[in-house]
Amino acid sequence: MAEPIRVVVTGAAGQIAYSLLYMIARGEVFGKDQPLILHLLDIPPMVDVLEGVIMELTDCALPLLRNVVPTTDPAVAFKEVAAAFLVGAMPRREGMERKDLLSANVKIFKIQGQALDKYANKDVKVLVVGNPANTNAAVCAYYAPTIPRENFTAMTRLDQNRAQAQIATKVGVPVADVKNVIIWGNHSSTQFPDANHAVVMIGNTERSAIEAVGDAEYLKTSFIEVVQKRGATVIAARKMSSAMSAAKAACDHMHDWWFGTPAGKFVSMGVMSDGSYDTPKDVVYSFPVEIKNKQWKIVQGLPINDFAKSKMALTSKELLEEKNEAMAVCSTD
């Protein structure tokens, strides 16, 4: 077997991590032949809960899991890690706006960026899950100047999975038969779920999602609204934020980053914008990407209609506002 790799999960005593840690440790992310050492970071009040999580991981008797390192110290948590799932953040609760989270959470990601810069492997793959994820990823990258900016990503795979599932349900096909749904922009209610380039397999024939759904108005209204508001809808029903589905999406994101995407298939990731599709540079913006040799590349040349451009501009505006506010908070900290 290969040498173990070190993987850190922050907020490790929390709800998302409770599902995520098991998925990682049983080989669903880095492969069934890759041993792991898990670093679990949380805040001091959660140490007792963290001990319970470690007991459960031990009791799962997972062959790939070689060691578990619980800690409240970022210096220990990020030491020599190859991959980082930055889940820990102040959670969003019912009635809260995302901007309510920003001030508290960007300070967390400033500290974690500095710790990654000092202690992690320089080729570490960083996935930010804690909200506001896109802006937290931008802050983290800013405070880790010796790690390439392309190594910092934000999770919009949950939104992609939601959108893919909505189309599959509408058409009446298995979710695996829908591909290339795009999430543009921010992981927020301004995101633009875009079915214009999606493909649905019906029988043995690939059809455009627009043709398969057969309802253009739905794809411009209800479909977008359901995906944009799904997180808030889950909170209203559960009285807690999405956990199981977020953990699954985090695994999907990192697995594809690690192993690549099949030819002809792209996935949505929040990555540092280079200005593609007239987006603002230097914000973490969700694009369709293809991945090869652990390197993502923005899919270029997709036709964008006026409706899509207007939606993409709206989420761009929000990301710029968030980034400016976040950097102002960090500079006064």
Q: Which pLDDT value is given to residue 258?
A: 98
- Which among 147, 163, 166, 182 has a CA at the least distance from the CA of 267? 182
DSSP single-letter state for residue 279? P
- 82 pLDDT exceeds 80? yes
State the pLDDT confidence band at 93, using cuts at 50, 70 and 90: low
Q: Which pLDDT value is given to residue 327?
A: 87
Single pTM value for the model: 0.95
Tens of pLDDT, residue by residue over 198-250, are 999 998 999 999 999 999 999 999 999 999 999 989 989 998 889 999 999 99
Is there a contact between 259 and 174 (Cβ–Cβ < 8 Å)?
no
- Tokens 């959670």 identify what position? 91
State the pLDDT confidence band at 131, using cuts at 50, 70 and 90: confident
Residues β-bridged to residue 287: 269
Residues assigned a catalytic role: 187
Phi and psi, residue 125, nearest 5°: -100, 120
Binding-site entries = 42, 92, 98, 105, 129-131, 162
Helix runs in the chain, H state only:
15-25, 47-59, 74-77, 98-119, 133-142, 157-171, 209-213, 216-220, 222-238, 244-259, 306-332
State the pLDDT confidence band at 18, using cuts at 50, 70 and 90: very high
Q: Which pLDDT value is given to residue 240?
A: 86
- Which among 87, 74, 67 has a CA at the least distance from the CA of 5? 67
Tens of pLDDT, residue by residue over 150-201, are 999 999 999 999 999 999 999 999 999 999 999 999 999 999 999 999 999 9
Tens of pLDDT, residue by residue over 40-77, are 999 999 999 999 999 999 999 999 999 999 999 999 99
Binding-site entries for substrate = 92, 98, 131, 162
* Rounded percentage of the chain residues whose pLDDT exceeds 90: 88
Q: Which pLDDT value is given to residue 264?
A: 94
The predicted model gives 22-50 an average pLDDT of 97
Q: Which pLDDT value is given to residue 35?
A: 98
Binding-site entries for NAD(+) = 42, 105, 129-131
